[in-house]
Structures are given as structure tokens and as C-alpha cells.
Amino acid sequence: MELFALSGQKALVTGAGNPGGLARAMAQGLRDAGATVAILDVADSVFEVARADGFTPIKANLAQREDLRRGFAEALAALGTLDILVNSHGIQRRHKAEAFPLDEWDLVLEINLTSVFALCQLAAEVMIPRRRGKIINVASMLSFTGGVTVPAYSASKGGVGQLTKALSNEWAAHGINVNAIAPGYMATEMNTALMQDQTRNRQILERIPSGRWGTPDDLKGIAVFLASRASDYLCGVVIPVDGGFLAR
């Protein structure tokens, strides 16, 4: 089990201020494996979550590039260094494609894709000289499929998948593993409307061989794996955690 131990490792997890979200669960998984964890979110709830789970809270708005840099610097100062970065923040906007407002398109792309790249760059500045590090991006089922009424989200998550591969191509030689997790249909706040729609809920469950929605806890194991020595030869992959949805 030493392959999966994270004792002494310092991790930053973004988007973990949502008490019932995927990011918090992944941060808990890293903590339980021995890592010291800082969490970054724009919501005030980041402080509540940090108190409950023993994390270091950082409040920053990743839609604002200067605030992103400030938040990263604050996290780095608190942790002392950075071994693991988990980019698990993101937003969703729904409109028919022909009526999708460009200002909302810009916001989704800024938060879901551009800020991910910026944080990866900042992490690489720390990791490249040390010749080691783990970067875990959070992609989506829409990194593989197109979705409906979510063109900005789909484009951003497709971009996260390709960005993960591009960064891995450049940074693997520096000892940095860049990989991504693609969660399937997860029972979180973002999907409340889908779960309450009896027709869509039935259609979704019929497509999932496991026969259930995923839960935040389903991402703990893959996060620990990708953050640990167990994944040292895994580079540039997007791993679905979807109950078999894509294989159906």
C-alpha cells in the first residue's frame, strides 16, 4: 500500500468549497491518504468545509486572472510547496446553441478551461525544478460526447481533455504526470434537475451498466491513485469514472 501513500505530500484542490461536491470528496481522499490539503473556491463555504475537514482554505475568484494568481500564491505559501494539483472547479450554463449568449460562453471558457491552463502553468513553475509532481484535471463525459444545450461546457471539457494530453507531452519528461478524470453522471447539485426528471433519470440509468448514479465518494480512489506513486507511468490519459456509461 506504500504505492498509494501520500504522507508528506502537499496538495491544492480547486472547487472544493461545495459541501456536497466532487472536489470535496477528492480532497478528503487525498487527506485520508496522508496529504496536507489546501482547498480553493470563490464561495464563502470554503471556510466551513476547511474547518470541518482539516483543510487550509483559500478564497479566490478563478474568473479573475489576477485573483487566480493571488490565490495560488497564497496556497503555495500556506503549503510550503506543491506536489499535487487537482483542478476540479467549473460552472455550467444552459441555452440552445443558436441563442447561447457570448458573454456566458466567455465566462464558461474562462473558468472551465483558461483558468485550468493558468493553474497548470503556475504548478509547473514549482514542479519542473523539482522534477516531480502530479496534476489531475477534471474533465467530463462531455469530453467525449457533445451534450445538448451546453455548447460552452462541452467545448471547455473537450478542451480540458486535449489540454491534459498536450501538457503531458511536454512535462512528462520533467517527472510531472498530467492526467484527467472524467466523471460520469454524478448525484450532485449540478444534476438535480436531471435526477428529478423521471423520463431523463430513467433513460440515464438504463444507459449505465452499474445501474446507479455515481457519488462523490466514487472519485476518492481514482484521485488517490493519480496523485500517488502508483500512477508514475501513467501520462496524458482521461479516465472515465462512469459506471460503464461510455462502454454501453
Sequence-distant (≥ 6) Cβ neighbours of residue 123 within 8 angstroms: 12, 82, 85, 133, 135
The active-site residue, picked from 55, 153, 185, 213, is: 153
Q: Which residues pair with 186 in a beta bridge?
A: 214
Taking residue 118's Cβ as centre, other Cβ atoms within 10 Å add up to 17
CB 91 within 8 A of CB 107: yes
Q: How far apart are alpha carbons 183 and 243 in whole angstroms?
A: 9
The reply to whether 153 belongs to the active site is: yes
Helix (H/G/I), strand (E/B), else coil: 147: coil
The helix/strand/coil state of 136 is strand
Give me the active site residues, please. 153
